Amino acid sequence: MSHRRPLIRTVTAGVVALASALSLAACMDDGTTPGDGGDTPIRIGATEADKSQWQVFKKKAEEAGVKVDIESFTDYTQPNRALGQGDIDTNQFQHIQFLAKYNVESGDTLVPVGATEIFPLGLYTKGDRSVSAVAAAGRVAIPNDQTNQGRAINVLASAGLVTLKSKDKLTPTPADIDTGRSKVTVVPVDAAQTATAFNDGTPAVINNNFLSAAGVTAADAVAKDDPKQESAKPYINVFVTTEARKDDPTIAKLVEIWHDPEVQKAVSADSQGTAVEVNTSPEELRQILRETEDKFRAESN
């Protein structure tokens, strides 16, 4: 921003500072909010920015007068940090449970502002696609990262394949399984290796983005978590921003655009039909976040 030469040399520094502040505020109120009709695009963090859904979304956003810039991140640890540091305006890559864990561990206060989808996590086996066939195999490969590992164990518990020592734990680990009362042993591996284990003949709980590597579709699942159940709410994927911008109308408009039929068609294609659209209100999403954060804190004590 340019500065004019003072016309009166006796103008005090305080008045100059006030004038500068008012001038900056006027710029922000004059339509230069990122994305909404101004020249500055709103920056969205994503981990799979090459998917067709983002191209369709960007096109629909620009048709609605919102300029967007999709910032691609290579791993899940980066987008929340970037958001907290002001490098992006919002992100869309995670479910509520992942966000809750990040907030509790980092001390940040990022908030969900809109729901997108739930991607059910499924159990797969070759040959006879039945729970009894999985039990006969005796072993199941599961992702070894904390969030997906706990979710995978809960899928197995719901299918009656493992019994938990306590049903109250948000993210159970193999140590929480009562092995004497369970029908299978879990084998934690890197999430990408669950497809390899499946191809080698071991039943596996496989994230939807590795289904193609396993040569299966979501319809082949022997069991999966039910997106309509109360227990699935922490797995709602969300748009996230800072506490200060939770009521930003431009970000709210982006959430609305995400649910455009053309965008949802692309989401379905990208996810091989696994995505289940969710329209939970921001208020309920934040309540789910608070409850999930409380559970993480209780488990860490």
Residue 139 sits in the same domain as residue 157: yes
User: Of the candidates 225, 258, 289, which is a domain's last residue?
Assistant: 225
Q: Using the Cα atoms of residue 160, residue 163, residue 168 and residue 171 in order, give the sign of their dihedral.
A: negative
* 13, pLDDT greater than 50: no
What CATH number has the domain bearing residue 137?
3.40.190.10
* 9, pLDDT greater than 90: no
Question: 3-state class of 141 per DSSP?
Answer: strand
Determine the average pLDDT of the residues in 91-113: 96
CA distance 188 to 207: 13
Residue 50 sits in the same domain as residue 195: no
Residue 146 sits in the same domain as residue 209: yes
Backbone phi and psi for residue 160, each to the nearest 5 degrees, phi listed first: 80, 15
Residue 27 within a domain: no
* 14, pLDDT greater than 90: no
Identify the domain containing residue 216 by its residue range: 122-225
Residue 129 sits in the same domain as residue 216: yes
Q: What is the pTM of this model?
A: 0.79
Residue 53 within a domain: yes
Q: 51-54 long-range contacts, Cβ below 8 Å, gap at least 24?
A: 51/266, 51/270, 52/266, 52/269, 52/270, 53/263, 53/266, 53/267, 53/269, 53/270
Residue 138 sits in the same domain as residue 103: no
Backbone phi and psi for residue 14, each to the nearest 5 degrees, phi listed first: -65, -40
Residue 241 sits in the same domain as residue 296: yes
Residue with tokens 């488990």, as numbered in its chain: 299
Residue 115 sits in the same domain as residue 126: no
Contacts (Cβ under 8 Å, ≥6 apart) of 277: 116, 117, 259, 264, 267
pLDDT at 37: 56
Confidence of residue 74 (pLDDT cuts 50, 70, 90): confident
Residue 277 within a domain: yes
Confidence of residue 258 (pLDDT cuts 50, 70, 90): very high
Q: CA angle 285-290-296, nearest 5°?
A: 125
Confidence of residue 19 (pLDDT cuts 50, 70, 90): very low
Residue 111 sits in the same domain as residue 257: yes
CA distance 20 to 12: 13
- Among 76, 122, 73, which Cα is nearest to 99's? 76
Q: How many domains does the chain have?
A: 2
Residue 161 within a domain: yes
Residue 90 within a domain: yes
Question: 3-state class of 203 per DSSP?
Answer: coil
Residue 24 within a domain: no
